[in-house]
Amino acid sequence: MAFVRNFLVLACCAALAPSAASARALRERVPHEKPARTRLGPHDDASRIVLKFAEDSTLRSVPEALRALRAAGLPARAVRKLFTRAAAELDAERDDGEQRSERALADLNLYYELDVPRRTDVAALCDALNDLPFVELALPARIPLPPPTDLPPATPDYSNEQGYRQAAPQGIGAIAAARNPGATGSGVTLVDVEYQWVLDHEDLELDAAANLDKATLSDPFPSDQGNHGTAVLGILVARNNGYGVTGLVASATLRVAPASTVEHGYDPARAIDLAASRLAAGDVILVEQQTAACGGSYGPLEAYPPWFDVIASATARGIVVVEAAGNGAVDLDGAGCAGWFDRAQRDSGAIIVGAGNPADRSRLSYSTYGSRVDLQGWGYSVRTTGYQDTSPGDARQRYTPSFSGTSSASPIVAAAAVAVQGALLARGQAPLEPAALRALLVDTGTPQTGAGHIGPLPDLPAALAALGIVPPPVPGCGFTGIEFAPLLVFLFRLRRRRVE
């Protein structure tokens, strides 16, 4: 086809230039293997292709591509950069991330998105592009999948129904941890990547400016409008106001970045990149999305290589990324994953969260699982804002006792990450790097039971005690914080020995 012939001309004219990063000793980046043959699945977009040129290629701007497209009779809008921020800004962040993490990162300037002409065989076009030596990977774009699922009259106080706030082993110990300065999230910014928010819910009271994106919000699932995102935000930052629910980290600065907009379509890579551009080391991105994984059902977003690369770029800069594992019961260690989730080969640096049973911390049957899943949260019976079991007529007064899935689990773990970083900042200490924070929450969590690895449930008091952070003494108690710290550390170590 004419389009491919012109692209061949474009590729063969490309020169290769050594990267400044290549001179440093970095852990090698292992890209996704090109498929022997592209197969268009039910979750693929037949109208768009995502293309990445090989690392060190000079094809970092679109003029040559535009000329080739025009020669093929295609409009200039048919190709565009996937990451639209300035090339110099992306370069600076990549260099910073590689220095911090000591691992090679993808050059996001080499990602493009192509609109496919009508009646074009998308799979054949991907295969032709993958045959080019200067193309690292070409694959169909993805379509969105379903989310991993006081105004008058007066609203009751539901906080006593939030068992996930209670002490271990039932919950993550957020109530006790909140007595530590900063452990309710002050000083930390958290960005939720998804959609379906009611920002002015009576228990959230967020300004429209909380949305980082100037593009027009688009909801791919209007039948669930205003519920999923609202439920997630309630777990995180619902106000401690005597009614409704209380967020785990109500003092955090909350921002949202839509994964789908009118102008850009479904583009979680853009949302994550936008969020990362506004955050500093120690801040947190929560990715409340799932996608097809390992040729099967729903798994974590990073199963799709372009999304893996933008997540890896964020964590390399010290930004914590928390991802839902997905509700597809996919075994990430299975043959179908072809080692994509093998940490010995590649690690995005994100925390992947499975859905656990609140009663015993066993894996719920629908939760994706495997050695790459780090931690679990409650997978059902989560009381929060949103949905229609109360006040169905006013979205600002909706509450539910039954938010579920890896969707409910992930904000619980994200809140634990925010709490640790906030407590450190309040003491004048630097926040933890993503890998160190992930290891801390895993090592100090309440262990999982049963088969299908989804990891422990975070235990905030144990995690903070391991850092030497303990709450001030309860009035009337004879211990000071300094005296109590060794006892907490001793009890934590004793529990770990018994589990092992």
Going from N- to C-terminal start, the domains of the chain cover 39-142, 159-466, 473-500
Taking the C-alpha atoms of residue 500 and residue 456, their distance in angstroms, rounded to an integer, is: 13
Q: How many helices (H) and strands (E) does the chain have?
A: 12, 16
Taking the C-alpha atoms of residue 306 and residue 317, their distance in angstroms, rounded to an integer, is: 17
Taking the C-alpha atoms of residue 48 and residue 123, their distance in angstroms, rounded to an integer, is: 11
**Tokens describing residue 313:** 């770029």
> Which of 3.40.50.2000, 1.10.3470.10, 3.40.50.200, 2.40.110.10 would CATH assign to domain 159-466?
3.40.50.200
- Report helix, strand or coil for 443: helix
In this prediction, residue 146 carries a pLDDT of 80
Taking the C-alpha atoms of residue 377 and residue 170, their distance in angstroms, rounded to an integer, is: 11
Taking the C-alpha atoms of residue 475 and residue 12, their distance in angstroms, rounded to an integer, is: 74
Q: How far, rounded to the nearest angstrom, does the alpha carbon of residue 182 sit from its chain's CA centroid?
A: 23
In this prediction, residue 340 carries a pLDDT of 96
Residue the block writes with tokens 């491919």: 4
Q: How far, rounded to the nearest angstrom, does the alpha carbon of residue 401 sit from its chain's CA centroid?
A: 24
Residue the block writes with tokens 């994964």: 259
Task: Output the pTM of the full model.
Answer: 0.85
CB-based contacts of 221: which residues, under 8 Å, 6+ apart? 144, 146, 147, 196
CB-based contacts of 279: which residues, under 8 Å, 6+ apart? 189, 191, 285, 314, 319
Interval 297-337: pLDDT, tens = 999 999 999 999 999 999 999 999 999 999 999 999 999 99
Taking the C-alpha atoms of residue 270 and residue 272, their distance in angstroms, rounded to an integer, is: 6
Q: Give the amino acid at 22.
A: S
Taking the C-alpha atoms of residue 112 and residue 83, their distance in angstroms, rounded to an integer, is: 8
Cα 55 to Cα 34, 337, 461, distances in angstroms: 15, 24, 44
Interval 87-131: pLDDT, tens = 999 999 999 999 999 999 999 999 999 888 888 889 998 998 898
Taking the C-alpha atoms of residue 303 and residue 305, their distance in angstroms, rounded to an integer, is: 6
**Tokens describing residue 439:** 């290891």
**Tokens describing residue 438:** 């992930």
In this prediction, residue 65 carries a pLDDT of 58
Taking the C-alpha atoms of residue 446 and residue 182, their distance in angstroms, rounded to an integer, is: 23
In the predicted structure, residue 221 carries a pLDDT above the cut 90: no
Interval 399-430: pLDDT, tens = 999 999 999 999 999 999 999 999 999 999 99
Residue 374, φ and ψ in degrees, nearest 5: -95, -45
Interval 136-146: pLDDT, tens = 999 999 999 88
What is 250-298 written as a DSSP string?
TTSEEEEEESEETTTEE-HHHHHHHHHHT--TT-EEEE--EEE-TTSSE
Cα 90 to Cα 62, 83, 111, 191, 418, distances in angstroms: 16, 9, 12, 19, 25
In this prediction, residue 133 carries a pLDDT of 84
In the predicted structure, residue 490 carries a pLDDT above the cut 70: no
Lowest-confidence pick of 208-217, 250-259, 388-397, 407-416? 388-397
If we measure between CA atoms, which residue out of 172, 2, 167 comes closest to residue 71?
Answer: 2
Taking the C-alpha atoms of residue 7 and residue 139, their distance in angstroms, rounded to an integer, is: 16
In sequence order, the β-bridge partners of residue 139 are 50
Interval 21-53: pLDDT, tens = 444 589 999 999 999 999 999 999 999 999 999
